[in-house]
């Protein structure tokens, strides 16, 4: 036994048993163990690979869907009418708050502080958090990024993030012009679906493509893995849509339509459509009462007042009120020009006129007699003209249209014949003839806008009845059938554009996110309905309706310098009449300009003007001036140059030239040349001062003050009330005071047109030489009952 193992002599080698046991234990156990490990690894990593990988992927991969931003809607000039912006929807997960024991107080504070504008309160968060089974409680939708930034910051303030608050990307639709073109644009719902108008019609184009973020997350979600593993299926922005609608034209339509609704106390809404007759492109389409698509669920103030009144007066229950509210909402969302049908009345005479001319049964030399009424086959009572005193008497074709004579048009219809009449109606797109002769007939224009209604016409059997021509007679002047205003505009455009029925459209082109045009609408000729000659004749006659200051029922639509054609329409609402209620009317006017080469057709209809305004309810009195004002704004905008007649020129305001320093006699000659009078104050030969100053525009025939050596008086004059004075009288009264008058209204008859409003109120002290601007009443009130 060696007690000193280091001693070389006493070294004890491991004995055989030790070597044997070592060898067998290590080698046997080692080989067995390593084989076992190898097999085990093979089993887990190859055989069970899929199963484990799936588990690992499931816990690490996060997939999030992101909806691409909705496309923008532009007007014809590239103005943005609708645009989407990125927002956040804030979601509370009470289950996570409980599970991860989060600071509810802190969460509720942060949310209520930053979302106060969205009506979120501290108590509300606490209340929501009680439902600890829920992972998804919406706190606020479509919140601005700047409001969610502090929430995002709070969420990331601790490692791994605060659990229980989720900010989900969302978007909100903005309509920068508010209610402008609301019915055309439509609106989008809370889930960004287009629910009306272009938004609905082109929803699949505008809608952004769904994108997907696939990323791996670390367990605490610090974001360590994101950089490395993020994998996008990029969401795609929706395509942009460019409309044919022009925001400026739309604005003018809405402005004057609104004014008309106020002026004539229109009770049941109004509509106006402007179309380029050569292409069928919609330039403007307005409907009142309207809404703000930014906030489409909110009723207009008037509608709210009406509801409140109804509630007070009729003691309605909550359910009844909510039904009324829903009905009011649907009413304000309704695009009257597209979705409502009406009896067009006399504006339809354009169509009858065109088919009469085209089929050759009438021409410009045709004459008609109206004794106030006529008989119609199958009709028990005589058919009355709107003017029953027989004063229409003998008329040329042009006069019959100018007068809007029902008797004459019943005769034209009779001459055309029921079958031909319907064939033309089919060709104009008012109805579609079918094999079923008993079927009520209908048609649509097929415009690319959601919500179009179809027309309603008598069945062929009824209309063609040889024993009863009363349907044909009434239809000839636009009654006993229903069409949409859009159908009227489209058909009338065909009558004036050379005879071609164009398919109306509202979208010019569609461009994808990169600006590439992916689709565009080209003008589509559906068919030629009437000949070029017919169309030219129609234009010629229509111009006489507006342009004739004596016989024209549409003269109130006249705009000085412009050749405007048009036709009035007044139709009694038959359903209302049948129900025994008070008589209600839809008054309308269609204007075409310039009459020799139409660039725009505007149809305006006012549903149920009040009989309490003192203005006679008729298309001529209400529709024509409205369209006239629209034309007065739109035609210069479209770049149509005014061409004034000599008479118009004589009536027009004129600019005062520079006279100071001139010889007095020369100055007087110059003034007279321009249609002014001159009054010389002082005795010198040279003009030392003039009133009004150079460049002032004042009424034709005004007396300009020429000072020859004297100074104008420093005194001031007290303004007088000019109401009800004619334009000439106003000019002369003011001249006596050393004041002047000018107007932006069109001056057709300065000796009869009266002042409606003045720029400087009565009683104001004004300097000598001041120019007062006045508004003139258009037309006179002498021609009552114009159809």
Partner 1 sequence: MSANSKAARRRSILPGLEAAAKHRGGFDITLLTLVLILLALGLLMVLSSSYPRAYSEALRTESGSPLDYFNHQLVFAVAGLFIMYAASWVPMSLYRQGAKLLYIFTIVMLAAVLVAGTAENNARRWIYLGFFSFQPSEISKLSIILLFADLIAKYRARMNTLKYGVVPYVVVLAIPFLLLFLEPHISCIIIVALVALTMLFIGGMPWKYLLTLFAGVALLGLLAFFVSNHVHVRILAWLHPAAYADDDISYQVRESLMAIGSGGLTGLGPGEGRQKYLYLPESHNDYIFSIVCEELGLLGAIAILLLLALMLLRCIQITLNAKDRFSFLVAAGITAHFGLQTILNILVVTNTIPCTGVSLPFFSYGGTALLMQLVEVGVLLSISRELPLSNAE
- Active-site annotation, residues: 346
Edge to edge, the sheet with strand 231-233 lists 61-67, 210-216, 231-233
Output the smallest distance, CB 108 to partner 1, in A: 25
Least Cβ distance, residue 161 to partner 1 (angstroms): 11
DSSP of 170-217: EEEEE-TTTTTTHHHH--B-TTS-B-SHHHHHTHHHHSPBEEEEEEE-
Per the DSSP assignment, residues forming a β-bridge with 741 are: 772
Burial 496-506 (b: 16+ CB within 10 A, else e): bbbbbbbbbbb
Is residue 1 close enough to count as binding partner 1 by CB under 8 A?
Answer: yes
* Helix, strand counts (H, E) of the chain: 28, 31
Contact between 548 and 402 (Cβ < 8 Å): yes
Residue identified by tokens 């549409």 is 554
Where is 740: in which H helix or E strand?
strand 740-743
Among 28, 44, 138, 327, binds partner 1 (CB under 8 A): 44
- Based on its alpha-carbon atoms, the radius of gyration of the chain, rounded to whole angstroms, reads 40
Task: Pick the closer one to partner 1 by CB: 219 or 527.
Answer: 219
Instruction: Give yes or no for residue 28 binding partner 1 (CB under 8 A).
Output: no
Strand pairing class (585-593; 600-607) = antiparallel
State how far the alpha carbon of 368 is from the alpha carbons of 206, 356, 361, 388, in Å: 55, 13, 13, 15
Q: Does 9 interact with partner 1 (rule: CB under 8 A)?
A: no
> Smallest distance, Å, CB 13 to partner 1?
7
Residue with Cβ nearer partner 1 (46 or 646): 46
**Exactly one of 42, 136, 637, 644 binds partner 1 (CB under 8 A); which one?**
42
Binding-site member from 28, 45, 518, 575 for partner 1 (CB under 8 A): 45
Q: Phi-psi category of 337—alpha, beta or left, where left has phi over 0 and alpha has psi -120 to 50? A: alpha
* Piece of 20-28, 83-91, 309-317, 668-676 that binds partner 1 (CB under 8 A): 20-28
* Site track for partner 1 across 49-68, x = CB under 8 A: x-xxx-xxx-xx--------
Residue 781 phi, psi dihedral angles, 5° rounding: -100, 15
Cβ-Cβ contacts under 8 Å for 191 (sequence gap 6 or more): none
Q: Should residue 13 be labelled a site residue for partner 1 when binding is judged by CB under 8 A?
A: yes
Residue window 195-224: x/- pattern of binding to partner 1, with contact defined by CB under 8 A: ---------------------xxxxx-x-x
136 binds partner 1 (CB under 8 A): no
Dmax of the chain from CA atoms?
160
Per-residue x/- marks for partner 1, 220-259, CB under 8 A? x-x-xx----------------------------------
CB 81 → partner 1: shortest distance, Å? Answer: 47
CA distances from 437 to 153, 386, 426, 462, 465 (A): 72, 32, 14, 9, 11
* Closest CB 451 distance from partner 1, rounded Å: 53
How far apart are the C-alpha atoms of 441 and 535, rounded to whole Å? 26
Give least dist CB 16 to partner 1, A: 10
Q: Which is nearer to partner 1, 30 or 685 (CB)?
A: 30
Q: Smallest gap, in angstroms, from Cβ of residue 226 to partner 1? A: 11
Which of 25, 28, 518, 757 is the binder for partner 1 (CB under 8 A)?
25
Q: How far is the CB of 225 from partner 1 (least distance, A)?
A: 5
Residue of 278, 359, 401, 364 lying closest to 537 (CA atoms): 364
Residue 169 or 223 with smaller CB distance to partner 1:
223
- The CB-of-103 to partner 1 minimum distance in angstroms stands at 17
**Burial class of residue 603, CB neighbours in 10 A (0-12, 13-18, 19+):** buried
Residue 159 lies near partner 1 (rule: CB under 8 A): yes
Q: Which two tokens stand for residue 72?
A: 């923008």
Closer Cβ to partner 1, 26 or 724, answer by number: 26
Is residue 757 within 8 Å of 594, Cβ to Cβ? no
| Owner of token pair 């020799």 | 596
Compare residues 222 and 377 and give the one whose CB is closer to partner 1.
222
Q: Is 178 in the site for partner 1 (CB under 8 A)?
A: no
* Residue of 28, 38, 672, 781 interacting with partner 1 (CB under 8 A): 38
Q: How many residues bind partner 1 (CB under 8 A)?
A: 51
Site for partner 1 in 629-688 (CB under 8 A): none
Of the pair 27, 85, the CB lying nearest partner 1 is at 27
Which residue lies nearer to partner 1 by CB, 42 or 637?
A: 42
User: Which is closer to partner 1, CB of 216 or CB of 720?
Assistant: 216
Report the alpha-carbon distance of residue 150 to residue 157 in Å, rounded: 10
Interface residue list for partner 1 (CB under 8 A)? 1, 3, 5-6, 8, 11-15, 17-19, 21-23, 25-27, 29-30, 33-34, 36-38, 40-42, 44-46, 48-49, 51-53, 55-57, 59-60, 159, 216-220, 222, 224-225
């Amino acid at each position: 036994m060696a007690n000193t193992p280091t001693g070389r002599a006493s070294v004890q080698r491991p004995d055989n048993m030790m070597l044997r046991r070592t060898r067998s234990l290590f080698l046997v156990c080692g080989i067995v163990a390593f084989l076992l490990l190898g097999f085990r690894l093979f089993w887990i990593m190859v055989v069970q690979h899929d199963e484990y990988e799936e588990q690992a992927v499931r816990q690490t991969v996060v997939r999030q869907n992101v909806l691409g931003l909705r496309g923008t809607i532009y007007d014809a000039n590239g103005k943005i009418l609708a645009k989407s912006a990125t927002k956040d929807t804030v979601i509370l997960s009470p289950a996570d708050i409980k599970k991860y024991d989060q600071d509810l107080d802190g969460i509720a504070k942060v949310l209520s502080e930053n979302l106060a504008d969205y009506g979120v309160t501290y108590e509300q968060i606490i209340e929501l958090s009680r439902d600890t089974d829920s992972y998804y409680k919406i706190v606020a939708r479509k919140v601005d990024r700047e409001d969610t930034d502090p929430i995002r910051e709070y969420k990331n303030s601790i490692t791994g993030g605060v659990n229980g608050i989720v900010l989900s990307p969302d978007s909100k639709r903005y309509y920068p012009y508010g209610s402008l073109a609301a019915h055309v644009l439509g609106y989008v719902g809370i889930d960004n679906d287009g629910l009306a108008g272009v938004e609905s019609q082109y929803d699949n184009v505008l809608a952004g493509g769904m994108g997907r973020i696939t990323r791996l997350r670390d367990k605490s979600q610090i974001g360590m893995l994101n950089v490395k593993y993020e994998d996008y299926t990029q969401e795609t922005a929706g395509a942009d849509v460019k409309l044919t609608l022009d925001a400026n034209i739309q604005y003018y339509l809405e402005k004057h339509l609104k004014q008309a609704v106020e002026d004539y106390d229109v009770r049941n809404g109004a509509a106006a459509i402007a179309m380029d007759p050569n292409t069928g492109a919609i330039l403007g389409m307005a409907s009142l009462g309207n809404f703000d698509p930014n906030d489409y669920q909110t009723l207009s103030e008037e509608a709210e007042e009406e509801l409140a009144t109804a509630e007070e007066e009729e003691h309605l229950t909550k359910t009844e009120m909510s039904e009324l509210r829903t009905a009011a909402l649907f009413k304000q969302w309704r695009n009257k020009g597209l979705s409502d049908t009406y009896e067009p009345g006399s504006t339809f005479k354009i169509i009858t006129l065109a088919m009469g001319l085209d089929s050759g049964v009438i021409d410009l030399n045709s004459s008609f007699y109206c004794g106030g009424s006529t008989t119609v086959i199958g009709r028990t009572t005589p058919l009355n003209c709107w003017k029953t005193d027989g004063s229409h008497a003998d008329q040329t074709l042009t006069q019959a249209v100018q007068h809007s004579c029902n008797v004459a048009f019943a005769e034209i219809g009779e001459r055309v014949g029921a079958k031909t009449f319907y064939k033309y109606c089919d060709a104009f797109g008012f109805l579609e003839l079918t094999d079923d002769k008993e079927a009520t007939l209908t048609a649509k224009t097929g415009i690319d806008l959601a919500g179009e209604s179809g027309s309603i016409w008598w069945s062929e059997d009824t209309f063609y009845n040889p024993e009863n021509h009363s349907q044909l007679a009434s239809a000839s002047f636009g009654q006993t059938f229903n069409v949409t205003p859009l159908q009227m505009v489209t058909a009338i455009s065909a009558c004036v554009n050379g005879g071609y029925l164009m398919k109306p459209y509202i979208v010019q082109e569609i461009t994808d996110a990169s600006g590439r045009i992916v689709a565009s609408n080209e003008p589509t000729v559906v068919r030629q309905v009437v000949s070029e000659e017919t169309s030219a004749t129609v234009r010629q006659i229509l111009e006489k309706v507006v342009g004739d200051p004596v016989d024209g029922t549409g003269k109130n639509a006249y705009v000085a310098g412009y050749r405007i054609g048009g036709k009035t329409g007044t139709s009694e609402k038959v359903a209302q009449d049948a129900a025994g209620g008070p008589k209600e009317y839809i008054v309308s006017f269609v204007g075409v300009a310039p009459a020799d080469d139409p660039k725009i057709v505007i149809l305006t209809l006012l549903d149920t003007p009040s009989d309490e305004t003192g203005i006679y309810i008729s298309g001529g009195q209400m529709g024509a001036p409205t369209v006239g004002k629209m034309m007065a704004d739109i035609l210069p905008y479209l770049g149509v140059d005014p061409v004034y007649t000599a008479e118009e020129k004589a009536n027009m305001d004129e600019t005062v030239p520079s006279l100071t320093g001139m010889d007095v006699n020369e100055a007087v000659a110059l003034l007279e040349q321009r249609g002014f009078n001159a009054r010389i104050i002082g005795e010198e030969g040279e003009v030392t001062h003039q009133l009004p100053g150079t460049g002032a525009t004042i009424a034709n025939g005004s007396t300009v003050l020429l000072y020859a050596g004297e100074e104008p008086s420093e005194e001031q004059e007290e303004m007088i009330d000019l109401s009800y004075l004619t334009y000439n009288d106003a000019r002369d009264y003011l001249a006596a005071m050393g004041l002047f008058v000018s107007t932006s209204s069109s001056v057709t008859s300065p000796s009869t047109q009266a002042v409606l409003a003045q720029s400087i109120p009565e009683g104001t002290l004004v300097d000598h030489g001041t120019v007062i601007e006045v508004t003139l009443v258009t037309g006179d009130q002498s021609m009552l009952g114009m159809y």
